[in-house]
A and B are shown apart, each in its own frame.
Chain A
Amino acid sequence: MAGRRALKAVLIDLSGTLHVEETAVPGAQDALNRLREASVAVKFVTNTTKESKKHLLERLHRLNFDLQVMQEIFTSLSAARTLLEQKRHRPLLLVEDSALQDFTGIETSEPNAVVIGLAPEQFNYQTLNKAFRLVLDGAPLIAIHKARYYKRRDGLALGPGPFVAALEYATDRNAIVVGKPEKSFFAEALSNLGCNPNEAVMIGDDARDDVGGAQNAGMLGILVRTGKYREGDERKIHPSPHLTCESFPEAVEHILKNML
C-alpha cells in the first residue's frame, strides 16, 4: 500500500451489493451508518437503467437505508443524459418507461442517435431493427452500460450488453459506453467529492464492471459475494480485487479497520 493516500471516498454499488431486488442484504443498513460515521464521502453508483434516481431513492428508503439526497446517487442514465445534452443528439430511447423520467426535456422526434439500456420490452425484433437501421445509417450508438447479465429473483437475466454487442456486430460500429466499467463514469462519480481515484474504493458484486472498472480507473476494488457474484469471478480480472469478501457489511468492517 506504499504511495496510497488515506481513504477519502467510498463508491457503493446498489443492486446486488446493498440489496437484491426488494430485499436488503442482511446488516447492510447498519454497515452504511457505521461508514457514514467515519470521515469518508459516500456515493452510490449504479448501472441500473430501468429506474430513475427518484425510484432508486424511494426503494432505498423502503429498505431503511439512510440516504438523504438524490445527489448521493450517480447513475449511468445521468451519464447518458450529460452526453446527449453535450452533443445535442435526438435519441431513440431503448429504456424502460420508468427510466424515461431522467430524460425529460430531451428532444426525441426524428431520432439521430440510439440510446440503449436494459429494456426487455423494447428488445423485440421490430424495435431492434429500427435501432439497427438508424445506426447503420450513421446514428451514434450510446450504451448506458454493457452488463452481460444481472440477478433476478427467478435466476440470471440478460443485461443490455448482449444487445449492444448484437447491434455493434450487425452495423460494424462501436458503441459509446457511458456506464461502468468506463473510466469516464468513475471519474465523473468522484468529480464532486474532492478526491483522486487513489483515495477512493469501490464496493460491488460485479467483478468486471464494478471492481475491474474501478481499479482500472485508479481506485481499489472490493468484490462482494452477493447478487450476481458467481464462484471464481475474482479470478476473471487482472489485477484481482484488492479484497473479496462475503458481503457489504464485511467490506465496511475491512475499510474501518484497515483503510482509514
Chain B
Amino acid sequence: MADTDWPGCARSLKGVILDMCGVLYDSGEGDGVAIPGSIEAVKRLKASDLQLRFCTNETQAARETFVAKLQRLGFDILVSEVFSPAPAAAAVLKERGLRPHLLVYDGLLPEFDSVDQSNPNCVVIGDAAEKFTYQNLNEAFRVLTDLEKPLLFSLGQGRYYKETDGLKLDVGAYMKALEYACDLKAEVVGKPSPTFFQSVLNDMGLQPHEALMIGDDLVNDVGGAQRCGMRGVQVRTGKYRSVGSFNLPKINMSPYWPPLGHGCSYWLVKPSMSVCEQPKFPLLRCHLVLWLNLCFYNR
C-alpha cells in the first residue's frame, strides 16, 4: 500500500488537482486578484513531472470565459485542463433524458446550449448570485412542486465563498432552501461528489492514492477528495477561516520534515472527525507556495 506519511506521500505522488477560487485567485471586481505566489506555483507544477488538472465549482461563467480571465491574470492554464460542474451536469441531463429549468448565472447558460430545456422535468441551480431573487427561487420551487417526481440538481453545495468585498452565500445555501421547501434531497454535481473527482482521475489515468487535491474548502475540496482515497491539502487563503474551523489536534513534526515557514503547521485528522470520514492521510495546511517548497524538497 502507498506510503501514508508525508515524505513518502510526496515521492509517490503522480498528479495534483488544484481548486481555483481561493487557491489561485480571489474573485471580485473585474477579473479578481491573483493570490500572491500562485502564478509561480502553477508554473513550477507544470515544469515538474506531476500531472496537473484544475477543478472548480465555479458556476457563474462558462469554462472558456473564466479560463480566459485566469490567463489574463497571468496563469498558465488551458480549458482542457479544467473540470467544472456545468459540463458535467449537461452530460448527466442528456444521459438521463432530463430537461432542466435553469436557475443559474447568465454567463453559465452557454454550457447548456445543447440541452433541451422545453417542458422542464427537473431544476438545476448554480451560483446565481444576484439572480437568487425571491421571484426566481419561487419559480424554481413551483416547477419542482408541479412535478410528480421532483428532481433538483445543485452545481456544488458550497456554503459561502470569498470575494474581494467579503464573504457571500454560495449555491449550497439556496440548494438547502429548495430542499427544505420541497422536502427533497438535491443531487450534487461537482465537488464533493465522488463521481466528479473520479472523472478528473480518469482523465489523468491515475489511481486516487497517486493524486493530491489542494483547496480552500475543508469539506468540499479536501473532504470530498479524501473520501475518494486522494490526499488533501487545505490552503489558508480564500474562504479559509482560522476561527469556526474544526478543532483539529496538532501533531508533532517528524524529524524527516523540513521546518515550515511562519503560519504553517501539520494537523492530523482523526477518524472520529465528522468532516473527513476515515481519512487515510494526514491533512496538511499551508500556503500553496510553501507546500510546493515542501513537496519538491522531498522528491
- Which residues of A are in contact with B by a Cβ distance under 8 Å? 120-121, 123-126, 128-129, 132-133, 136, 148-149, 155-159, 161-163, 165-172
What's the Cα separation between A165 and B145 when bound, in Å?
Answer: 18
Shortest C-beta distance, A252 to chain B (Å), equals 31
Stretch at the interface among B164-172, B199-207, B288-296: B164-172
Q: Which residues on the B side are within 8 Å of A158 (C-beta)? A: 134, 137-138, 141, 177, 181
Task: Let me know if B31 is at the binding interface, CB within 8 A.
Answer: no
Chain A CB count within 10 A is highest, among B135, B137, B178, B180, for B180
Task: Let me know if B242 is at the binding interface, CB within 8 A.
Answer: no
Task: Let me know if B48 is at the binding interface, CB within 8 A.
Answer: no
What's the Cα separation between A169 and B172 when bound, in Å?
Answer: 8
Task: Let me know if B270 is at the binding interface, CB within 8 A.
Answer: no
Q: Is the CB of A123 within 8 A of B167?
A: no
Interface residues on chain B, size class:
20 to 34
In the complex, residue of chain A having the shortest beta-carbon distance to the beta carbon of B167: A133
Q: Is the CB of B180 within 8 A of A161?
A: yes
Contact of A132 among B131, B142, B169, B176 (CB under 8 A): B169
Q: Is the CB of B145 within 8 A of A156?
A: yes
Shortest C-beta distance, A134 to chain B (Å), equals 11
What's the Cα separation between A162 and B181 when bound, in Å?
Answer: 6
Task: Let me know if B130 is at the binding interface, CB within 8 A.
Answer: yes
Q: Is the CB of A148 within 8 A of B183?
A: yes
**Please, what's the 1-or-0 string for B216-244, where 1 marks a CB less than 8 Å from any CB in chain A?**
00000000000000000000000000001
Contact of B177 among A133, A136, A156, A162 (CB under 8 A): A162
Summed over the interface, the residue pairs from A and B with CB atoms below 8 Å come to a total of: 87
Task: Let me know if B173 is at the binding interface, CB within 8 A.
Answer: yes
Supply 15 A–B pairs (Cβ within 8 Å), ascending by A: A125-B133, A129-B167, A129-B169, A148-B181, A148-B183, A159-B181, A162-B141, A162-B180, A165-B176, A165-B179, A167-B173, A170-B160, A170-B172, A170-B173, A172-B159
Q: Is the CB of B169 within 8 A of A125?
A: yes
What's the Cα separation between A170 and B170 when bound, in Å?
Answer: 8
Which positions 175-202 of chain B face chain A at CB distance < 8 Å? 176-183
Given contacts A136-B167, A166-B174, A169-B172, contact A120 B134 (CB under 8 A): yes
Q: Is the CB of B167 within 8 A of A132?
A: yes
Q: Is the CB of B181 within 8 A of A161?
A: yes
Q: Which residues on the A side are within 8 Å of B166 (C-beta)? A: 129, 133
Q: Is the CB of B141 within 8 A of A166?
A: no
What's the Cα separation between A136 and B160 when bound, in Å?
Answer: 11
Q: Is the CB of A128 within 8 A of B169?
A: yes
What's the Cα separation between A198 and B176 when bound, in Å?
Answer: 36
Shortest C-beta distance, A108 to chain B (Å), equals 21
Shortest C-beta distance, B239 to chain A (Å), equals 11
In the complex, residue of chain B having the shortest beta-carbon distance to the beta carbon of A148: B181
In the complex, given contacts A158-B138, A159-B181, A166-B169, what are 4 additional A-B residue pairs having Cβ atoms less than 8 angstroms apart?
A132-B173, A136-B160, A136-B244, A162-B178
Q: Is the CB of A165 within 8 A of B160?
A: no
Task: Let me know if B129 is at the binding interface, CB within 8 A.
Answer: yes
Q: Is the CB of A165 within 8 A of B177?
A: yes
Shortest C-beta distance, A47 to chain B (Å), equals 15
Contact of A149 among B159, B167, B179, B181 (CB under 8 A): B181
Given contacts A124-B134, A155-B142, A158-B137, contact A129 B177 (CB under 8 A): no
What's the Cα separation between A107 and B145 when bound, in Å?
Answer: 40
Shortest C-beta distance, B28 to chain A (Å), equals 14
In the complex, residue of chain A having the shortest beta-carbon distance to the beta carbon of B135: A120
Contact of A148 among B142, B173, B174, B180 (CB under 8 A): B180
Q: Is the CB of B172 within 8 A of A156?
A: no
Q: Is the CB of B173 within 8 A of A125?
A: no
Shortest C-beta distance, B147 to chain A (Å), equals 13
